[in-house]
Amino acid sequence: MPCNLNEISEQLNGILIGDGNVVITGVGSINAAREGEIAFVTDKNLNKLDQCNASAFIVPETTIIEFKVPVIKVKNPRLDFIRLIEMFSEKTKSSGVLSSEAIDPSVTLGCNVQIDEFAVIKEDVSIGDHTVISAHSFIGKNVTIGTNCLIHPNVTVLHDTFIGDNVIIHSGAVIGADGFGFEWDGKKQVKIPHIGNVIIFDDVEIGTNTTIDRGTIDSTTIGKGTKMDNLIQIGHNVQIGEHCIIAGTSAIGGSSKIGNRVIMAGGSAVINNITIGDSCVVLAKTMVTKNMPENSTVSGYTARSHKRQLRESAALSRLPQTIKKLNKKLDELSKTKEGAK
């Protein structure tokens, strides 16, 4: 819905400079914004302003340059631009229509629940108000799903899983499959039964094709507000804290404990039975093999202090030149000895 800049500035609690009656019909990037759209500006893209056709900008409150179009100054342009996108984007809302013919009679449904075609809802499932279960998803026995959740198409949620409120699960995710546990009996690998479950707390988002295994006996847990990217593997009995960020193709081995506000960059991995403290950062492609105290940052294979990793990498890069200098010194020393004879 179109808004003028006065309305947008009020919503963002920003400072408007310029004509507040300019009507904005959408948002755009600094590279592709068109007339009628608003874009956000950072110190990194100031050099692109002359080529931008946006009708207004969101800028940091510290910006002092003049603009040829109206601007709204805010404390955090990235965060306020997210809010702006939410103002102009269409949110998925439940239609309250039950289109599937595979809903067990024992299912408990809240108000205005939407269940799309070919979704399968098994016995004793409970689904909260305004939740959407999209087409071809499977919800197993005794699963609880909270209010305002969005389950995208082709999601599998297996038996006894508990999902809180405002959870988003993207297509292809599998929640509650058996963990990878076997014991050698001298002749073959014996499968360890997994009778635990998965608990996903409020405001979690789980990316496409991510898998979260159920606990062996207890629960695998994902803490409130944690956001998980695509293609992530979470092993059995893992406990992930609140407000963590886990980027794509990462993996966490069984029974590991991840603290609150931990960041795991793309392709990182944690072996089993590891504890990572609060507010740690695991940089991309890092293998964590030892416990990490809170506020640590590690990198490399295997993980070590990031500062140590940088020092060692720098030393290694200088090694060829160092060897060349050393050989030169050895040649000079050898010639000096021959001359002394």
Q: Which residues are catalytic?
A: 236
CA distance 184 to 53: 66
- Helix orientation angle between 5-12 and 77-88, rounded to the nearest 10 degrees: 120
Q: Are 235 and 254 in contact (CB under 8 A)?
A: yes
CA distance 264 to 285: 9
Q: Which stretches does DSSP call E strand in 88-139?
A: 102-103, 108-109, 114-115, 120-121, 126-127, 132-133, 138-139
All residues at 6 or more sequence positions from 175 whose CB lies less than 8 Å from its CB, including other chains: 155, 156, 157, 158, 161, 163, 169, 198, 200, 206, 211, 212
CA distance 273 to 260: 17
All residues at 6 or more sequence positions from 186 whose CB lies less than 8 Å from its CB, including other chains: none
Among 158, 148, 156, smallest CA distance to 209 is for 156
CA distance 196 to 140: 14
CA distance 150 to 135: 12
- Which residues sit opposite 126 in a β-bridge? 108, 144
- Pairing mode of beta strands 189-191, 182-184: antiparallel
CA distance 229 to 238: 17
Q: Where are the alpha helices (DSSP H) in the chain?
A: 5-12, 77-88, 306-340
